[in-house]
Amino acid sequence: MKFSVVVCTFNRSESLRRMLKSLQEIVIPDHLSCEVIVVDNNSDDDTRLVFEEIAKDFESRIRYVLEDKKGLSHARNRGVKEARGEIIAFTDDDVIVDKHWIQNIDKAFKEYDDVACIGGKILPIWEIPKPKWLKPDLYGYLALLDKGDSVAYMDALDIWGANFAVKSEMFKRYGLFDTNLGRTPRKLYSGEEAEFLQRLQNAGKKILYYPSSIIHHHIPAYRMSKKYLRKWKFDQGELEGILMEDTKYLEIMNYHSHTTKIIFLRHIIVSLLKIGCFTKDRFKHELRICHILGFLSGRMKRMLIKS
């Protein structure tokens, strides 16, 4: 069996250096072949030079691809188009992969041959000591994932692209990542994985959480700030506001009916009332306000697009 590892990168050359060095250490079983595809999403730093430096010592086949259209979904789609493997394993440029990562993904697909997609643990490497207010219920905003040590089929669409392996035939059958979604250089948009997983689930395909598939995600100091999380929630709300009228997105955004506007108004009122309360959950209410403000920004942008 052949594996394709897709690494998407944008202006993170030093992170990419660490990431590729960890890929050099992975164990590839004799019955597998593995290629690594580095998709440079039009970086303007020394990403190409770092790649050429590291690639000289790679035992696995490694390729560099430049994707001019900026945006994580564009980069991932380019990786899919370039990949030749039966399994495509996605990860990011700011992670360290466990040396048994590929080996365990292969094991998972063999043990559970009815699954289309596998996700695993994404554990933190904190650049600085983690602040006390940054509790595990906020880890999802940092693309961290740990659902324990038991294998489980998943209903929730919260597998993140930093540790995400898919049978390549799924892209041929159900399409690529939606380029209306996903991170861009200026916006912390997301949702491209969830929307793709939703398509798989709607087609009756199974998704598996496999805890032995592990990567370690470097969390820089600036992401461990309330400012960063406020922006994350604002940008996510903005994206939802832009896409709300497109019915294909309602399910992944948890908007299901014509009563959405009433429910949304209720959330605004409740959150504004709670933001003034000095409780231990104050920051969660702040994030809700940021989400609401982002949503309103998105609705205004949508109206400008339509006009």
CATH number of the domain encompassing residue 78: 3.90.550.10
Percent above pLDDT 90 for the chain: 71
Decide which of 223, 249, 278 is a domain's last residue: 223
Question: Mean pLDDT, to the nearest integer, of 97-111?
Answer: 96
Domain co-membership, 10 together with 109 = yes
Q: For residues 217 and 95, what is the distance between their CA atoms, to the nearest angstrom?
A: 4
CB atoms within 10 A of CB 215: 23
Question: Mean pLDDT, to the nearest integer, of 204-225?
Answer: 96
Domain co-membership, 70 together with 212 = yes
Domain co-membership, 77 together with 151 = yes
Please return the burial class of 23, using the count of CB atoms within 10 Å of its CB with bins 0-12, 13-18 and 19+.
Answer: buried
- 274: confidence class by pLDDT, cuts 50, 70, 90: low
pLDDT of 119-138, one tens digit each? 999 999 999 999 999 999 99
Q: By residue range, what is the domain housing residue 257? A: 226-306
pLDDT of 53-97, one tens digit each? 999 888 779 999 999 999 999 999 999 999 999 999 999 999 999
Q: Give the end-to-end CA distance of the chain in Å, rounded to a whole number.
A: 51
Q: Taking Cα atoms as reference points, which of 122, 123, 108, 97 lies closest to residue 6?
A: 97
Mean pLDDT value across the chain = 89
pLDDT at 108 over 50: yes
Q: For residues 7 and 258, what is the distance between their CA atoms, to the nearest angstrom?
A: 40
Decide which of 167, 194, 223 is a domain's last residue: 223
Q: DSSP states of 184-203 as a string? A: -SS-----HHHHHHHHHHHT
Domain co-membership, 144 together with 288 = no
- 263: confidence class by pLDDT, cuts 50, 70, 90: low
Domain co-membership, 112 together with 261 = no
Decide which of 223, 247, 276 is a domain's last residue: 223
Q: Which helix (H) or strand (E) holds 35?
A: strand 33-40
Question: Mean pLDDT, to the nearest integer, of 285-291?
Answer: 87
Lowest mean pLDDT among 204-218, 249-263, 284-298: 249-263
Percent above pLDDT 70 for the chain: 90
Domain co-membership, 140 together with 237 = no
AA identity, residue 201: Q
Domain co-membership, 25 together with 128 = yes
pLDDT at 171 over 80: yes
Unique residue bearing structure tokens 């598996």: 208
Q: For residues 179 and 211, what is the distance between their CA atoms, to the nearest angstrom?
A: 29
Please return the burial class of 259, using the count of CB atoms within 10 Å of its CB with bins 0-12, 13-18 and 19+.
Answer: exposed
Unique residue bearing structure tokens 């990431």: 19
